[in-house]
Structure 1
Amino acid sequence: MKRLVLGVVVAIGAAVPAIGDAVAADCPAASADWAAPGPFGATVEPGGSAHSIYRPARLGDCGAHPVIIWGNGTGASPSTYDGLLRHLASHGFVVAAANTAWAGSGKEMLAGLDYLATRNGTPGDVYAGNVDLTRVGATGHSQGGGGAIAAGADARVDTTVPIEPGPQGEVRALHGPTFFLAGEKDWIVSPRTLVYPRYLKATHIPAVYGELAGASHFTPVGSGGGFRGPITAWFRSTLLGDDRAKAFFSGPNCGYCGDPRWSRFERDAG
């Protein structure tokens, strides 16, 4: 059952389950303004030749860190989204960003997970024991958003956030909660014909659709624009078990329900 609230479509009673075990309570405190920097200093380093790793400068302050794998838009590189990726690292995530302008297959993104698994299992490595391979999210922009959907079919990926995604990947192959993000003024990846229909196909999983008011296709570039806070809240909810973040998506009066930042916001319990 759905209703219209202040021009925003929401599904009544839908909830997005947290994958984590509320580990956020054991981490340094973060502001509930999810667009604000997190409690960790962030650093970036090469992940071999194929990836750039954005991570907390000091690992292990709250146990092993969840992983986010990232895919760039066509023609772009991780540096194109440097502010957004550093922001996610500041909130306690280890981000493996594929150094490719063609991330649509999802394979390059998943290779970042393989890289971190090797480092995590190498005694004496700075990553050893500090990467939680049981808490993995996939996200990316444009072609990389399609790549995130493709990567999200992998059994190791728990949750997916396609940002203005291309046509790559099969939505029905996803198996974990998914947050589809679109831009109201995106003339390249139309929210109504290319993103919202993909959300509607996700009837087998908990799914959320968020269309950012006034956003263009290039709003996510740099620091993520208005997408930065919602992306962070989603991953803090699903991968860190942060109840404050979960409240933005869950319950009849969820924090994003009726929020004017969205031109459309819809939830489906799956």
Structure 2
Amino acid sequence: MKRALKKMLKIIGIITLVFVVLLTLLVVKIVRTPMVPNDYTQTVVTGGDIEAKYLAMGNYEVKYKEEKTTEVLKKYEVYYPEELEQSERKYPVVVFVNGTGVYGSKYKALFKHLSSWGFIVLGNEDPGTWSGESADKTLEYIIKENSNKDSIFHNRVDLDNIGISGHSQGGVGVFNAITENNHSDLYKTAVALSPTHEEAAIKLNIPYDLTKIKIPTMLIAGTGNFETQMVIPLESMKTMYEKINAPKVMMRKAGHEHGDMLYAADGYVTAWFMWQLQDDEEASKAFIGDNAEIEGNELYQNQSLNIFED
């Protein structure tokens, strides 16, 4: 009896050990797996020439720099055009706000792509970003670097052309970063990717006020089941869009789930920032004019534009 019991306990111990090892390997895989595929610029399907152009990599070689910071943010992550180190010009900035529990280091391909179009792209490791405070601190970091004579970013930051983007809870962080924080007035434009809708945000105690938005803002979501049932139902998205009293764009990319929206519409996200922060006339044609590309792009649904054109 004792021998059988010992044998059974040994088997249970082995099974438990195998389970722990497999669980550990799974966690390690999840931690190491990027949220954005490294090859997404080659695999995402586009429905227009402008979308395709700005989904491709830009002409700038990209370099990376990081600096340790607080226990919560862990580090500031900066992607920038390599030529910045030898240039006399200033470069526009885009701050990225993380989704729930997803660190900036999981978005490497996304950051590198945008930087290849001539942007300084900033991230951090904050897992809870809804208040916009970590975005504010990250922006404050690059502002200080711009004034630091010993920094490679000294006098290289275009403080008149700063944008912000974020996904999911990070979309909520975008709304609060541009309305409720110390440096809110420095942002020139914003993109919210699949932001948590208002009612859910209130229930989760991560509220925001869209009526306070004063800058051009683009809302993008997908049409997948989880996306439309839990994160941002279409009617909720329409209500959110209506509350924004500033130049604005809304659209949904068909057939894409919540996680996909980090990068599935990146051609238009990049075009938006190229237009808003670099005055790129070709990029602007995706959003303005009689034949704005997004209106005729069959890969998208529920497009609405109110740009306040002169």
Q: Which TM-score band (shorter chain)? A: 0.7 to 0.9
**1:55 and 2:80 equivalent?**
yes
181, 187, 191: which one pairs with 1:161? 191
Q: Which amino acid aligns with 1:53?
A: V
Q: Which amino acid aligns with 2:93?
A: V
In 2, Cα distance between the equivalents of 1:194 and 1:70? 24
Larger radius of gyration: 2
Identify unmatched segments of 5+ residues in structure 2.
1-49, 202-206
34, 41, 48: which one pairs with 2:54? 34
State the Cα distance separating 1:192 from its structure 2 match.
Answer: 0.9
State the Cα distance separating 1:220 from its structure 2 match.
Answer: 3.3
SS in 2 for 1:257: helix
Q: Which whole-Å deviations, capped at 9, do the CAs of 1:127-181 have from their partners, x for residues lacking one?
A: 0111111111111000001101111221111111010012343211111100011
75, 97, 102: which one pairs with 2:128? 102
**1:46 and 2:66 equivalent?**
yes
Indicate if the aligned counterparts of 2:96 and 2:122 stay in contact, CA closer than 8 A: yes
219, 222, 242: which one pairs with 2:260? 219
Q: Which whole-Å deviations, capped at 9, do the CAs of 1:2-51 have from their partners, x for residues lacking one?
A: xxxxxxxxxxxxxxxxxxxxxxxxxxxx9970000011112222143232
- Normalised by the size of structure 2, how large is the TM-score? 0.72
Task: Say which structure is richer in helix.
Answer: 2
- Normalised by the size of structure 1, how large is the TM-score? 0.83
Task: Say which structure is richer in strand.
Answer: 1
Indicate if the aligned counterparts of 1:32 and 1:245 stay in contact, CA closer than 8 A: no
Q: Which amino acid aligns with 2:300?
A: W
**1:134 and 2:160 equivalent?**
yes
Question: Number of aligned pairs?
Answer: 237
Indicate if the aligned counterparts of 2:51 and 2:268 stay in contact, CA closer than 8 A: no
Identify unmatched segments of 5+ residues in structure 1.
1-29
Indicate if the aligned counterparts of 1:164 and 1:191 stay in contact, CA closer than 8 A: no
State the Cα distance separating 1:62 from its structure 2 match.
Answer: 7.7
Indicate if the aligned counterparts of 2:221 and 2:261 stay in contact, CA closer than 8 A: no
SS in 2 for 1:220: helix
SS in 2 for 1:162: strand
Match of 2:113 in 1: 87
C-alpha change, 1:92 and 1:191, in structure 2 (3 Å) is: farther
**1:181 and 2:223 equivalent?**
no
In 2, Cα distance between the equivalents of 1:200 and 1:241? 26
Q: Which whole-Å deviations, capped at 9, do the CAs of 1:183-234 have from their partners, x for residues lacking one?
A: 11124312414433211111x211100111111101034xx1x211010000
Q: Greater shift after overlay, 68-77 or 212-221?
A: 212-221
C-alpha change, 1:62 and 1:161, in structure 2 (3 Å) is: farther
CA RMSD of aligned residues (A): 1.9
* Identical columns (%): 28
**1:244 and 2:270 equivalent?**
no
SS in 2 for 1:133: strand
In 2, Cα distance between the equivalents of 1:119 and 1:65? 13
Q: Within 5 Å, give how 1:70-85 maps onto structure 2.
A: 70-85=96-111
